[in-house]
Amino acid sequence: MTTEYQALLCNNTWTLAPAPSHGHIIGCKWVFKLKYKPDGSIDRYKARLVARGFHQTHGLDYFDTFSLIVKASTVRIVLAITFSFGWTIRQLDVQNVFLNGDLCEMQQPPGFEDPQRPTHVCQLNKTLYGLKQAPRSWFLKLRTTLLN
């Protein structure tokens, strides 16, 4: 949890601000997962802070959503090219991939509340997993980067 929290701080994911009287505060929670090695032994423990996006209201907290879908034919083409050139295939796990976008306020992460400002909220500068617009923000950033 500390590693994830430090990564979020280093990426300037949020700024602590007083809670707005008119705003809708999104909750958050920690999600834990075990990552395994190919032999079945435990590789590492993973913690991710996710927003409770199911509390968001369309038109108030977000306007557009997006779901990236890869066609099976695209995967087959990539695999065919890879094998024909003798390349190796590796899986890529990008940490903090959704940290892009314009957002609203979120409660402070459980277990990491600021003792000097306990009533403040996190004014999000970047998106987190769980938000309705996170996939759209990530795809727009990836698309722009690849085209450039």
Residue range 103-142, pLDDT digits in tens: 566 777 888 888 898 888 877 777 776 565 666 666 677 7
Give the pTM.
Answer: 0.52
Is residue 13's pLDDT more than 90?
A: no
Is residue 98's pLDDT more than 70?
A: no
- What is the helix (H) or strand (E) element at residue 33, kind and residue range? strand 28-36
- In order of 2, 35, 80, the CA distances from 89 in angstroms are 31, 19, 11
CA-CA distance, 101 to 38, in Å (whole number)?
35
